[in-house]
Amino acid sequence: MSLYKRNSTWWSSIYVDGVRHCKSTGTSNRRKAETIERQFHEELNDVRRRVPHANPDMTFGELSARFIANGMSTPYSLDRLSHLLPFFSEMRVADIGPAALREYRQRRYEEKKTLKAATVNRDLSVLRRVLNWAVEERLIPANPLGRLRMERERRTKRPVMSFREEELLVAKSPLHLQRIIRCALDTGMRRGEILAERWEDIDFDNRILHVTHSKTPEGEARDIPLTMRLYELLLFFRKQKGTVFTFEGVPIKIVKTAWAASLRRAGIRHFRFHDLRHTANTRMMLAGVLQEVRREILGHTSRHSRDVNDRYVQIELPEKREAIRKLEVWLAAQTQLAAEEEKLPPQPATSPETTEESTA
């Protein structure tokens, strides 16, 4: 680095990788010129290392494009961005604040009257994630939503699928969806985990399914013993390698259409696919499986549902096998109960008056 004067102004001359860069400091003060020259040198080094600089005029649309181009997006975040971009796309990142969020919430509720607070919270969590990534990449100096407080969500009752509803749904579902439904109910796995399962990860000799693709670190690489009915189902379609759940040889990526059609044909109440996971948890609870064991099988990570001492609890494979055995006993009892109900003759309806007369 070297400073030289041209007329009364100091200029900086810096060589980077053999290339000379000259710039006026705009001052006649030597100390100020040295400070400006150091900043100039740091900028040139950042350019050489391809370190991005904060752009105060960057719009959220431009930032989202970089977020996607760098491979940071997931199908979930892309879905949330489809709602965020129409509103925030032309807005400068620096202008995103509490006022803009209030307006966004109001707009979303006006578009759909039945929209829940939880849905808007999911949108804003992705918005915050994109901004956090921008801070990590030094595209913006700070996340304006770093202290964002989500709207309180009302707790809703989660439906639990009965054994009768399960049988009706399976009977009206296509073959590829039948296997997926059975797997969800007998393992409590997430939809993404099920669709990513491979034959190489199923130990048929020991009747164990290895979960190797989970959305959470705690849910990754856990072992789930197989119920007999799921073991026999998988054994019938067993292959040496490849994706377990396919349709005409092609891995299944989405089940939304087949799921909705099967529910309609079965004539049962509405269920989300995720409700099968909740149903599996409830069934194991009814079968007498301890909460800690259920969490290990399901790969739960909710911080609110964990006790401070849970980190010291180690659930071994024999305890998981015992949990699945209890679930099988519960399923067998439900099967027997359903069979007995089918054999019972219809009971004649009796009025209160008839009952009183017979008692007299």
Tell whether pTM > 0.85.
no
Expressed in angstroms, the distance from the first to the final Cα of the chain is 113
Query: How high is the pLDDT of residue 219?
Result: 54
Rounded Cα distance, 288 and 82, in Å: 43
Instruction: Please state, in angstroms and rounded to a whole number, the distance separating the CA atoms of residues 267 and 53.
Output: 58
Q: In whole angstroms, what is the distance from residue 74 CA to residue 335 CA?
A: 40
Q: For each of the chain's 360 residues, which pLDDT tens digit applies?
A: 588 888 888 888 887 777 777 888 888 888 888 888 888 777 777 656 554 555 768 899 999 999 999 888 888 899 999 999 999 999 998 889 888 998 999 999 888 878 888 888 999 999 999 999 988 888 888 888 877 788 777 777 788 999 999 999 999 999 999 999 999 999 999 999 999 999 999 999 999 999 987 766 555 678 999 999 999 999 999 999 999 999 998 999 999 999 999 999 999 999 999 999 999 999 999 999 999 899 999 987 654 444 444 444 457 888 899 999 999 999 999 988 888 877 766 555 444 444 444 333
SS3 249: coil
CB 102 within 8 A of CB 145: no
Domain ranges within the chain, ordered by starting residue? 2-48, 60-136, 163-343
Query: For residue 98, what are the contacts with CB-CB under 8 A and spacing of at least 6?
Result: none
Helices marked H in 8-69: 30-48, 60-69
The two structure tokens encoding residue 221: 């690489």
Cα distances (Å, whole numbers) of residue 24 to 42, 109, 240, 269, 352: 16, 54, 69, 74, 102
Domain 163-343, architecture per CATH: Orthogonal Bundle (1.10)
The 10 Å CB-count burial string (b at 16+, else e) for 262-276 is bbeebebeebebebb
Residue 228: predicted pLDDT: 95
In this predicted structure, what is the pLDDT of residue 305?
Answer: 44
- Where would I find the H helices in 75-171? 75-88, 98-111, 117-136, 163-171
